[in-house]
Amino acid sequence: MDEFTEYIAGLDGPAKDAVEHVRTRALKLVPDAEEGMSYGMAALRYRGSPLVSARATAKHIGLYPFSPSAIDALAPDLAGYSTSKGTVRFTPERPLPDDVLDRLVLFRRDEIDAMRSR
């Protein structure tokens, strides 16, 4: 199933490009990730757990690393972006820097690996 790809296909313009960028970078970093659903959202899943999702809204793109710990760990790098317990919000005009996005994805991957190795 290609839930994330199908979700992106339904988007337009800069929002589509921004969400696709998240998906592409995450798959480059975690090639074993698979498309699926998590918490009612199209997402990438890794080793049976949600890895990352991105959703377009009227005012921003919500990035969901499914890990409050990841957001806390990268808080200094997320200064200037709106965040909550499980979300980082950005716009296509002011995207997250690739290195920050990469570190969020890799943090979550490592978190899943640690959880699965117990």
- Is it the case that residue 1 has pLDDT exceeding 80? no
pLDDT of residue 116: 87
Q: Is the pTM of this model over 0.85?
A: yes
pLDDT in tens, 26-84: 999 999 999 999 988 999 999 999 999 999 999 999 999 999 999 999 999 999 999 99
Give the orientation angle of helix 98-116 with respect to helix 13-29, to 10 degrees. Answer: 50
Query: Residue 38's CB: how many other CB atoms inside 10 A?
Result: 17
State which residues form the domain around 51.
Answer: 3-116
pLDDT of residue 63: 98
- Is it the case that residue 10 has pLDDT exceeding 70? yes
pLDDT in tens, 82-92: 999 999 999 99
- Is it the case that residue 20 has pLDDT exceeding 80? yes
Strand 41-46 to 87-90 pairing: unpaired
pLDDT of residue 118: 79
For residue 54, give the nearest of 28, 9, 23 by alpha carbon: 23
How many independent structural domains does the chain possess? 1
CATH of the domain at 112: 3.90.1150.200
Q: How far apart are CA 73 and CA 27, in angstroms?
A: 22
